[in-house]
Structure 1
Amino acid sequence: MAKWGQGDPRWIVEEREDGTNVNNWHWTERDATSWSKGRLRELLVGIAVENEAGRCEVSELKQVEGEASCSSRKGKLIFFYEWNIRLGWKGVVKESGAKHKGLIEIPSLSEENEVDDTEVNE
């Protein structure tokens, strides 16, 4: 902790009559929910996997529930999100030409979970 008067020059709220959060130094939070929903749609819809057995593609983003925010504390960005996602997929078996479709559910996509710990249900 700095001695009185020797602190970081960005820490000037005490010296300001209006208490302004200069350069977002203290804490700011912005809602990123609508931007994130659009970005999830861009990233997920159209993903395709193909091999000798057939082809499968994410055809639509059926449901996105949750929220996302971007925060800043002392110049560091912190991201929070928690989503429940339902995706529609369709596929074709190469040998028979049979078409299939279904749903994929990701019940709790969050920054708290590692990729390997993310639950995906069919």
Structure 2
Amino acid sequence: MVVLNPNNWHWVDKNTLPWSKDYLNGKLTSLSTVSSDGKSKIELTQVSSITGDSNVSQRKGKPICYFDLQLSMNVKVTNLDTNKDDEDDDGILADGKLEIPEFMHDESDIPILSQGFDAFDGLVRSEFVPKVVETLLKYQDDLIKEHSKDIQV
């Protein structure tokens, strides 16, 4: 038997973008919260786009990951207050997008841009965006845990 990579010393790469898309779609589309005043609900309805790179590698026997992703998400704010008339027929108060232009492996400060929320932008940023960030910060640990066991050759 010929050993081409003894003790996994040389680089071994695994493209994890397909897994990352499934993971982020599953984790993010289940996010919702009720505003602190109890008058509205904010929920992520769709991850409309995930692009970029995501890899788990092994070098000198140690698993490492690196990713640089761009995400676009649709979010809606719905009315829970039955006495308010600022809504359309479906109870939707605002329908907008959250954009993450750069979600990288070596940064915990994630820039998130919002558009289309009008008067509810502050509410989305203060009460919903932290939940998105909390979910995204779990991604790297889960990525390594899921893929480091099968990266060895």
Q: TM-score, normalised by structure 1?
A: 0.77
Alignment partner, residue 107 of structure 1: 101
Alignment partner, residue 32 of structure 1: 16
What are structure 1's unaligned runs of at least 5 residues?
1-15
Select the structure that is richer in strand. 1
1:81 matches 2:67: yes
Alignment partner, residue 44 of structure 1: 28
Q: Which range moves more in the overlay, 91-100 or 37-46?
A: 91-100
Task: Determine the C-alpha separation between the residues in 2 that align with 1:109 and 1:70.
Answer: 16
Q: TM-score, normalised by structure 2?
A: 0.62
Task: Determine the C-alpha separation between the residues in 2 that align with 1:41 and 1:53.
Answer: 27
Q: Which runs of 4+ in 1 moved over 3 A?
A: none
Equivalent residue pairs, number: 104
Choose the corresponding residue for 1:118, options 106, 110, 120: 110
Does 1 or 2 have the higher relative contact order (CA < 8 Å, sep 6+)?
2
Question: Identity of aligned pairs, percent?
Answer: 24
Alignment partner, residue 12 of structure 1: none
Select the structure that is richer in helix. 2
User: Following TM superposition, by how much is the alpha carbon of 1:33 offset from its aligned partner in structure 2, in angstroms?
Assistant: 1.0
Q: Which has the greater radius of gyration?
A: 1
User: Following TM superposition, by how much is the alpha carbon of 1:93 offset from its aligned partner in structure 2, in angstroms?
Assistant: 2.3
State the superposition RMSD in angstroms: 1.8
What are structure 2's unaligned runs of at least 5 residues?
115-153
